[in-house]
Amino acid sequence: MKIMLNDAPYEFAGETLEDLIIELDKSQQGIAIALNQQVVPRSLWCSTGLDEQSLVFIFESIAGG
């Protein structure tokens, strides 16, 4: 299915937000996910399904100084 990931089209073969994180090889630590402009709690990533044209934003914390 085709979703929008951080404002870019992305072809996604999985079903849930957790599948997306695994496909992108991202750590679950230090990130937040918004789906259609609503932040999704980490505890719901495994049960939150995506569909065509889902708008997903992944925010990553960056340490620095």
Please give the CATH topology (third level) of the domain spanning 2-60.
Answer: Ubiquitin-like (UB roll) (3.10.20)
Phi, psi (5° rounding) for residue 57?
A: -120, 130
In whole angstroms, give the CA distance from residue 17 to residue 54.
11
pLDDT for residue 47: 97
In whole angstroms, give the CA distance from residue 6 to residue 34.
10
Is residue 61 within 8 Å of residue 8, measured between CB atoms? no
Residues of the chain with pLDDT under 70: 65
pLDDT for residue 57: 98
pLDDT in tens, 28-42: 889 999 999 999 999
- Boundaries of every domain in the chain: 2-60
pLDDT for residue 65: 60
